[in-house]
Amino acid sequence: MAGKLKVKLVRSSVGSNRRMRDHLLGLGLRRLHQVKELDDNPTVRGLIFKVRHLVEVDPPVAARD
């Protein structure tokens, strides 16, 4: 899993619980439509998985089995 992932916040965190907001901050996402380029590693993928309904990822991250 080498390379970079572009993560974009596409839905607001308003109404989300505190843990989801913390995951977004861990990814460095604070505002709508903000894009961050992050290393592709298991930690980042775990954070993305927790907030997958709020973000878009390029290239797409495969869902867990």
**Does 4-58 carry CATH code 3.30.1390.20?**
yes
Q: What's the pLDDT score for residue 63?
A: 62
- Residue closest to 56 by CA, chosen among 8, 12, 21, 13: 8
Q: For residue range 17-65, what is the model confidence (pLDDT) as tens digits?
A: 999 999 999 999 999 999 999 999 999 999 999 999 999 999 877 666 4
And the tokens for 55?
Answer: 């973000």
Angle at 18 between CA 12 and CA 24, to 5 degrees: 50
Q: What's the pLDDT score for residue 20?
A: 96
Q: What's the pLDDT score for residue 60?
A: 76
| 7, 36 contact by CB (below 8 A) | yes
